[in-house]
Amino acid sequence: MTHTLSVSSQLNKVLRSHYLSLPQGGLCQVTYVWIDGSGENLRCKMRTLESEPSSIEDIPEWNCTFIRINHPGTFNTMILVPVCIFRDPFMLDPNKLVLCEVLKINRKPADTNHRHACKKIMEKVKESIPWFGMEQEYTLLGIDGHPYSWPSNSYPKPQGPYNCGVGADRAYGRDIAECHYKACIYAGIKICGINAESMPSQWEFQVGPCEGIVAGDHLWMARFLLHRVCEDFGVIATLDPKPISGNWNGSGCHTNFSTEATRAEGGLEHIEMSIEKLRARHVEYIRISDPHGGQDNQRRLTGFNSTANIHEFSAAVDRHGVSIRIPLQVSQDKRGYLEDRRPAANCDPYAVTGAIAQTCLMEDDE
């Protein structure tokens, strides 16, 4: 199977660990991570700081230049503003990963910088103490784009044994999911679990519950770690919401949401009020549920394979083929959170959490 793995994953990793263990004096290697102009892909580059930063203020702004696709030979410079610091599970302590917001040269947010608006919304609604927990599904592919470990000219056995499955014929690529999990914990990401998903080579990790903007920050950095861990193993993680057409589950990013009111005694009433507000804005919400105005998600939200039809808003207790699920435990306790099952796996969590907070917690004229 090695021909489906990348070449760099086959470099000698024992040698790598020798160099990583060399002393680095008081210097600190910092990897700047940012969302590029696609709104879904991440980029990074590294620099040396004279000492270990003790807070985000100690990490200077930087910039990046990219070629303008429609204007060959011309370049745009963008500003990278550090917003969130993590330990680096690849270069190890004291080195850092830093998530950045991207600004244009006039210091206005880049078109794909949804954090900027999300942060403002989260500031306005912070009295409600909104929490978000996101379930990130993804599918492993070989570098040839074929689902990892799937037979080259046929399909694996139909879905059924794979969700939370154990055994070489049902769990494909567990090393990735487990190593990513450990890397997230080391980094300081609030990751709360992982599981094998319904389609072979499909996995999920969960981030949260996180308050406000932190959910987006932690999910984006967790995605960076996923792609970076996959690089070491020579495979690709795709967040395409329907990587294999037909009777195979797509990948979503279920977004669980609660506030101080929904978590308090009798909070179910507040959950039901939120559901009605979400119902009223379903069409505009679908447009931000992926980076392409809802077109990617259209392939996933068919009404089959544990999804609701994209054109119909629905809500129910303990059901999977709905837009919003009230978990069974929540309906029994009459308090807790709702699960929004609509966001696609490649959604921008800032756009999604921002839309939910704005819809459920702000008045129309705010």
Which residues bind to ligand ADP, rule: CB under 6 A? 131-135, 192-193, 206, 208-209, 254, 256-258, 263, 336-337, 339
The residue sitting closest to ligand ADP, measured at its beta carbon, is: 133
| Binds Mn ion (CB under 5 A): choice among 96, 254, 270, 342 | 254
* Residue 258's binding partner out of ligand ADP, Mn ion, none, with CB under 5 to 8 Å set by partner kind: ligand ADP
- In the bound state with ligand ADP, the residue whose beta carbon lies nearer, of 91 and 261, is 261
- In the bound state with ligand ADP, the residue whose beta carbon lies nearer, of 58 and 211, is 211
C-alpha 122/C-alpha 351 separation (Å) is 12
| Binds Mn ion (CB under 5 A): choice among 204, 217, 232, 240 | 204
* Residue 313's binding partner out of Mn ion, ligand ADP, none, with CB under 5 to 8 Å set by partner kind: none
| Binds Mn ion (CB under 5 A): choice among 40, 135, 296, 340 | 135
- In the bound state with Mn ion, the residue whose beta carbon lies nearer, of 86 and 139, is 139
Q: How far is the CB of 306 from Mn ion (least distance, A)?
A: 8
* Residue 348's binding partner out of Mn ion, ligand ADP, none, with CB under 5 to 8 Å set by partner kind: none
CA 153, 154, 159, 163 dihedral sign is: negative
Q: How far is the CB of 103 from ligand ADP (least distance, A)?
A: 30
Position 40 contacts Mn ion (CB under 5 A) = no
* Residue 336's binding partner out of ligand ADP, Mn ion, none, with CB under 5 to 8 Å set by partner kind: ligand ADP
Q: Which spans of this chain sit near Mn ion (rule: CB under 5 A)? A: 135, 204, 254
